[in-house]
Amino acid sequence: MILDKSLRSNSSQNKPNFPLVWIDGLALLSWGILLLKYAITGQYKLLIHPNYYGLVLGSAILLLALGMIKVKLILARSYGNSSEHISLFPPGFGSGLLLIVAIAALLIPPQILTSQTALKRGISDISMSSSQPQAFRVATKPEARTLIDWIRTINAYPEPDAYSGQPANVSGFVLHLKELPDNYLMLSRFVITCCAVDAYPIGIPVKLETNRRDYSPDTWLEIQGEMIAETIPSKDRIDSNITEQRSLVLAAKAIKSIPTPADPYSYK
């Protein structure tokens, strides 16, 4: 075969780079394993919107297949000739970087976003304007609404007094806002549109009978109570001015500590 002969002659030229050819194959395999691990363990939910599960799984399989072909080619000693490519990195650099990141990611699991991130990104109860139509599909029974359902409902009809007296049963993590009095905490959740990078926190202020110090930030709580309308201080997300605003507040009756759920985020 003519082709085989020509490939052989290539391989003899590329021999000095022998360890480098392995890095490409290992980078592909390690990323395939990493994505497969995320897909199987469900950890992908901490990173991206579940809609893209198929993409992640598909990529994992493709990467593993490409990696195996590459290893097979290396073992068969037919290295490619790609000298025509304009290269920015020295050979093996990009793959090396990918390999290091994949190994680090296999060792260090992704972290659940914390109250610290929520405070940094600025909590909001009105920025979900684009999902307003969904408000009409949420559970009609107030006590069956989740935290995100409540926010959608309020966005669809932003009149706090209209919900006064409705029973509520919601879960989320604890957030302490400086501008709120000591007997208030924020019950929050992160909402993901595309991936963890764009996750933003939403929340409902909760009025406690005790001090909020009893519930440290980031603990997960399930709170039963009744909705009331109150005028409370609220901080503007953009210019950080604190103004008094009429808001919907959950007056807590029963508070139960719960373990961090397997999928702690809400998805848009």
Partner 1 sequence: MNQLHNAFTLFLSLLVEAMPFLLLGVLLSSSLLFFINEKQLIAQLPKNPFLGAAVGSCVGFLFPVCECGNVPVARRLLLAGVSPAVAISFLLAAPTINPIVIWSTWVAFGDRPSLVIFRVLFSWTIATTVGCVFSIQKDVRFLLQDSFAKRLKPVKSCQPEPAQLISPLLQSGSFIIEQGQSLPLESYWSTTIAKSPTLAFKSKLQPFFDNVIQEFSELGGMLVFGSAIAAIIQVFVPRELVLSLGQDTTTSILAMMLLAAIVSICSTVDSFFALSFAATFTSSSLLAFLVFGPTIDIKSIGLMASIFKPKIIVYMLTLIAQLTFIFTLVYSYFF
Least gap, CB of 156 to partner 1 (angstroms): 17
Tokens 């060792």 found at: 107
Least gap, CB of 255 to partner 1 (angstroms): 26
Q: Which of 16, 19, 120, 141 binds partner 1 (CB under 8 A)?
A: 120
Least gap, CB of 127 to partner 1 (angstroms): 8
DSSP state string for 195-242 = BGGG-EEEEEEEE-SS-GGGS-TT-EEEEEEEEEEEEEEEE-TTT--E
Residues numbered 125-144 forming contacts with partner 1, rule: CB under 8 A: 130-131
Contact between 151 and partner 1 (CB under 8 A)? no
What does residue 203 show for φ and ψ, rounded to 5 degrees?
A: -170, 165
Segment interacting with partner 1, rule: CB under 8 A, options 118-126, 140-148, 154-162, 167-175:
118-126
Residue 238 burial (CB < 10 Å; 0-12/13-18/19+)?
exposed
The CA-atom distances, in angstroms, between 164 and each of 168, 244, 249 are: 11, 19, 9
- Nearer residue to partner 1 within complex by CB, 134 or 164: 134
260 touches 112 (CB < 8 A) = yes
The CA-atom distances, in angstroms, between 44 and each of 35, 37, 130, 135, 191 are: 8, 9, 25, 27, 15
Write the binding mask 54 to 93 for partner 1: x where contact by CB under 8 A, - elsewhere: -xx-xx--xx--x--xx--x----x-xxx-xxxxxx--xx
Contact between 236 and partner 1 (CB under 8 A)? no
Q: Which of 108, 133, 140, 141 binds partner 1 (CB under 8 A)?
A: 108
* SS3 state at 188: strand
- Nearer residue to partner 1 within complex by CB, 66 or 162: 66
Least gap, CB of 144 to partner 1 (angstroms): 26
Segment interacting with partner 1, rule: CB under 8 A, options 103-111, 133-141, 179-187, 247-255:
103-111
Residues numbered 17-56 forming contacts with partner 1, rule: CB under 8 A: 24, 27-28, 31, 35, 38, 44, 46-48, 52, 55-56
227 touches 165 (CB < 8 A) = yes
Contact between 264 and partner 1 (CB under 8 A)? no
Q: Which of 190, 200, 215, 265 binds partner 1 (CB under 8 A)?
A: 200
**Cβ neighbour number for residue 112 with a 10 Å cutoff:** 16
End-to-end CA distance of the chain: 57
